Amino acid sequence: MSTETIGVAPWMALPETQAVIAALEARGSPGCARFVGGCVRNTLMGKPIDDIDIATTLTPDAVIEALGQAKLRAIPTGVDHGTVTAVSNGRPYEITTLRRDVSTDGRRAVVAFTQDWSEDAQRRDFRFNALYVDIHGRLYDPTGEGVNDAREGRVVFVGDPTTRIREDSLRILRFFRFHAWYGRGDPDQEALAACKALIGLAEGLAAERVQKELLKLLAADDPRATVRLMAATGVLSRVLPSVESPARFEGLVAIETEQLFENDPELRLAALLPDDPKIAEQVAERLRLSNALKARLIAAAGASPRIVSWMSPREIRRVVYDLGLNTFSDRVKLAWAASGRSATTPQWRGLLALAETWTPPAFPLTGEEVLKAGAPKGPMVGEVMREVETWWIDQDFIEDKFSIIERLKAVVQGMAF
SS3 call for 6: coil
Q: Determine the Cα–Cα distance for residues 165 and 205; give it in Å rounded to an integer.
A: 12
Distance (Å, whole) CA 356 – CA 339: 22
Task: Report residue 397: phi and psi, to 5°.
Answer: 60, 50
Burial class (CB in 10 A: 0-12, 13-18, 19+), 245: exposed
pLDDT along the chain (417 residues), means of 10: 78 97 95 96 94 96 96 91 94 95 62 91 95 95 95 96 94 97 95 95 90 97 96 92 88 91 96 95 96 97 92 96 97 93 82 95 94 91 95 95 94 81
pLDDT computed for residue 410 by the predictor: 94
Q: Give 168's strand partners.
A: 106
Residue type, 346: P
What are the E-state strand segments in 201-359?
A: none
Helix, strand, or coil here: 5? strand
- What whole-number distance in Å separates Cα of residue 189 and Cα of residue 279? 34
**pLDDT (tens digit per residue) in 255-296:** 999 888 999 999 999 999 999 999 999 999 999 999 999 999
The residues near 13 (Cβ < 8 Å, ≥ 6 apart) are: none
Determine the Cα–Cα distance for residues 294 and 123; give it in Å rounded to an integer: 36
Q: Could you tell me the pTM of the whole model? A: 0.89
The residue type of 228 is R
> Tell me, what amino acid is at 165?
I
pLDDT at 187: 96
Q: How is residue 301 annotated by DSSP?
A: T
Question: Taking the mean position of all CA atoms in its chain, how far away is CA 152?
Answer: 25
- Paired sense of beta strands 91-97 and 99-104, if any: unpaired
DSSP string, 71-137: T-EEEEEEGGGTEEEEEETTEEEEEEE-EEEEEE-BS-EEEEE-S-HHHHHHTSSBGGGS-EE-TT-
Contact in structure between 277 and 301 (CB atoms under 8 Å) = yes
Query: What's residue 103's pLDDT?
Result: 59
CA distance 243 to 272: 6
The whole-number pLDDT of residue 345 equals 78
Residue 80 burial class via C-beta count within 10 angstroms: exposed 0-12, middle 13-18, buried 19 and up: exposed
Neighbours of 95 (CB within 10 A): 29
Task: Determine the pLDDT at residue 190.
Answer: 97
Q: Which domains does the chain have, with CATH numbers?
A: 1-152 (3.30.460.10), 158-239 (1.10.3090.10), 244-360 (no CATH), 367-414 (no CATH)
Q: Which pLDDT belongs to residue 101?
A: 73
Q: What is the pLDDT of residue 108?
A: 63
CB 266 within 8 A of CB 293: yes
Q: What is the spatial distance between Cα 51 and Cα 202, in angstroms, rounded to a whole number?
A: 27
Q: How far apart are the first and last CA of the chain?
A: 89
Estimate to the nearest angstrom the gap between the alpha carbon of 42 and the chain centroid: 19
